[in-house]
A and B are shown apart, each in its own frame.
Chain A
Amino acid sequence: MRIQRILAGAGAGLLFGLGLALSGMMDPARVIGFLDVGRLVGAGVWDPTLGFVMGGALLVTLPGFALMRRRGAPLLADRFEWPSRRDIDRRLLLGAVLFGAGWGLVGFCPGPALAALSSGLAPVFIFVAAMVAGFLLFRLLAGGK
């Protein structure tokens, strides 16, 4: 069971990284190209690709997740770990504000940043090191939660 779970993790990660590379979203310039809506009216060429990436992903996950809802248990674990909370609290929104600010500053969110380590470029390692420091800082401030 343990080796199967590790293989499942590796396979899902490989698929995710392949998708990020194919989509172009591993390149921060392409992400900024979408987020920079000033290009619609000013200088530069606006790049709608990120919208197609989200659309392509949701086209799979929307029906796929709905189908999974009807199943009793996953193949390699005892039960589905569906998030249960539905309330919108200050913590959620403040976290999203901070994440959005960092995303806009650099053009990296966690998945593409980790996948881009494959490029071996020093700036990517600097960003990921800072992101890891951010994870640890949260852990430190949030305590045992």
Chain B
Amino acid sequence: MTPYADWISGALGGALIGLSALALLALMGRIAGISGIAGALVEGRRDGFGWRLAFVAGLVAGPLLHAVLRGGEAVAVRLDVGWPWLILGGLLVGFGTRLGSGCTSGHGVCGLARLSPRSLAAVATFFAVALAVVLVTRRVLGPAAGFGG
């Protein structure tokens, strides 16, 4: 198992994510779904364009602020797959979250908090599929197929 300190940072970071979702709801009356916010931006929806763009800008600035608070040390971003898998994965995440009306934030952090049966079904489904895909790619296929290198 990993160090307890990681779990505590995880819970605190999660609470900040929850606070962000709560703030967006209390101020704007909107559910903080990242795929919904980013998707609407990409589709060029006129209404709410300003706050959505500002949200994504803040999302990118957040980790920079975190690095400054830590004395200039940025969080690692470690990917263990090559570009063909990055492209396939990106397409699946983009298309899938729009078709399924949400991702880990909209269905996970917000939907579960609303006790939505749709979100519970979506969360159970995407977790089950992700577990299975990781099992097959990292345990069965492995580095020979470009995973876990």
Residues of A within 8 A of B67 (CB): 21
Question: In terms of DSSP, what is the predominant structure of the interface of chain A?
Answer: helix
Q: Once the chains bind, are B94 and A134 in contact (CB under 8 Å)? A: yes
Interface string of B50-63 (1 = CB under 8 A from A): 11111111111111
* Contact yes or no, B100 A57, CB < 8 A: no
The range of chain B's interface size is 35 or more
How far is it, in angstroms, between the C-alpha of A89 and the C-alpha of B99 when the chains are bound? 11
Given A55-B14, A75-B26, are A135 and B98 also a contact pair (CB < 8 Å)?
Answer: yes
Rounded to whole Å, the gap between the CB of A86 and the closest CB of chain B is 6
Q: Report which of B34, B58, B92, B127 forms a contact with A105, defined as CB distance below 8 A.
A: B92
> Please, what's the 1-or-0 string for B24-57, where 1 marks a CB less than 8 Å from any CB in chain A?
1111111110110011001100001011111111
Write out the residue numbers on chain B whose beta carbons fall within 8 Å of the beta carbon of A118: 60-64, 74
**Is residue B144 within 8 Å, beta carbon to beta carbon, of the partner chain?**
no
- Taking a contact as CB atoms closer than 8 A, the residue among A106, A116, A138 that contacts B85 in the complex is A106
Contact B135–A16 (Cβ < 8 Å) = no
With contacts A10-B57, A52-B7 taken as known, whether A19 is within 8 angstroms of B62 at the C-beta atoms is yes
In whole angstroms, what is the CA distance A116 to B60 when docked? 7
Interface pairs (9), CB distance under 8 Å: A8-B27, A38-B134, A53-B10, A64-B18, A92-B122, A104-B130, A119-B77, A129-B90, A139-B98
